A = this chain, B = another copy of it.
Amino acid sequence: MSADFAAVDWGTSSFRLWLMQADGAVLAQSRGPEGMQHCHGVGFAPVLASHLAKAGAPAGLPVLICGMAGARQGWAEVAYADLPALVADIAANALKLPGALLQGLGEERDVRILPGLAQNDPARPDVMRGEETQLLGLAQMGHQGLACIPGTHSKWAMLEDGAVTSMRSAMTGELFDILSKQSILRHGMPLQGRVSADDAAFLNAVDEMLADPAAALTSLFPLRAAGLLGFATPEAVQARLSGLLIGAEIGKMLAGHECGPIMLIGQEGLGALYRAALLRAGVSLRYADAEEASRQGLLAAARKIWSF
């Protein structure tokens, strides 16, 4: 058994590599915190070389990468592919890295980076880099309908007949982070601590926002007042902030949604909060593993590119 290619998901703050066969079997893997931000200092090629060696990749094994390595601030900018997009579209728009960029890799290899997707519509502009591979992986597996990927910038996308046909992003995770750490709300928040999906303060806030997503912005200052007036502990303020933001996002994203099931990609950490909030909204959920979806998308694109 030998690998047919190396699949890499190279994010802003993480790196994951799998040695894969054309039938989808994973023979080895290597992962680390060397995301795009890390590589600005040390370069991208040495990081890739080190993970290929760690996974025991044979000489000459081709590499297919998705994610922020293809951003303007990444290894090499790969122009976005437009919606609607099939696996064939991202495969056709992959960038084969020129030799000059491969110095530091230690040997010659065929290294390609997949494009992100752009919704080139001035009325609802949107972009993603990395998540498209997960979405197209799911589409390959036959999923239709709305999919949700929680994250710093959560992604909602419509999958139809193997293609991503529309998308919407929300910077909910980042908002939670900067409100918790940079705004006046930081004075009433715990220094540590994670929000739990069964916390009543989280779920109550979700319920309120599902009923009235327009109330989110005007519910923020009262979090500070609730702390000052002794109505809420720092932990409850933190949980309520999370519930307000996630609840308002879901309330808005589901407006106009018909009753089909939603595919939730990733159930750990933030995904567990989205799962609880989506269930609170009464939608029917299906679940996918984020890494498995990513590998399926990379595999499908690799098959198109190298015809195996």
Are B229 and A127 in touch, CB under 8 angstroms? yes
A123 to chain B, nearest CB (A): 9
CA A121 – CA B285 in complex, angstroms?
Answer: 37
Answer whether A221 and B126 are a contact pair too, CB < 8 Å, given A178-B182, A183-B171, A214-B214.
Answer: yes
Are B153 and A171 in touch, CB under 8 angstroms? no
Q: Which of A31-39, A135-143, A250-258 contacts B (4 or more CB under 8 A)?
A: A250-258
Which residues in B have their C-beta under 8 angstroms from that of A120?
Answer: 229
Instruction: Tell me if A226 counts as interface (CB < 8 A to partner B).
Output: yes
Instruction: Tell me if A248 counts as interface (CB < 8 A to partner B).
Output: yes
CA A216 – CA B217 in complex, angstroms?
Answer: 8
Most chain B beta carbons < 10 A, residue from A153, A174, A212: A174
Instruction: Tell me if A215 counts as interface (CB < 8 A to partner B).
Output: yes
Copies in the complex: 2
Q: Which of B218, B251, B252, B255 contacts A168 (CB 8 A)?
A: B218
Are A169 and B221 in touch, CB under 8 angstroms? yes
A298 to chain B, nearest CB (A): 24
CA A82 – CA B52 in complex, angstroms?
Answer: 66
Are A178 and B168 in touch, CB under 8 angstroms? no
Give the A interface residue count (CB, 8 A).
45
Residue in B closest to A248 when the chains form the complex, CB atoms: B217
Answer whether A225 and B170 are a contact pair too, CB < 8 Å, given A178-B178, A184-B153.
Answer: no
Instruction: Tell me if A294 counts as interface (CB < 8 A to partner B).
Output: no
CA A215 – CA B252 in complex, angstroms?
Answer: 7
Residue in B closest to A231 when the chains form the complex, CB atoms: B122
Instruction: Tell me if A213 counts as interface (CB < 8 A to partner B).
Output: yes
Give me 26 A-to-B residue pairs in the complex whose CB atoms sit less than 8 angstroms apart, sorted by A's number. A80-B229, A118-B225, A118-B228, A118-B229, A120-B229, A122-B226, A122-B231, A125-B222, A125-B225, A126-B222, A126-B225, A127-B224, A127-B228, A127-B229, A153-B221, A169-B225, A171-B221, A171-B224, A172-B217, A174-B184, A175-B217, A175-B220, A214-B251, A217-B245, A217-B249, A218-B253
Known pairs A171-B224, A213-B214, A218-B253; list 9 more (Cβ under 8 Å): A125-B231, A126-B221, A168-B218, A170-B217, A171-B183, A178-B178, A178-B179, A178-B182, A216-B216
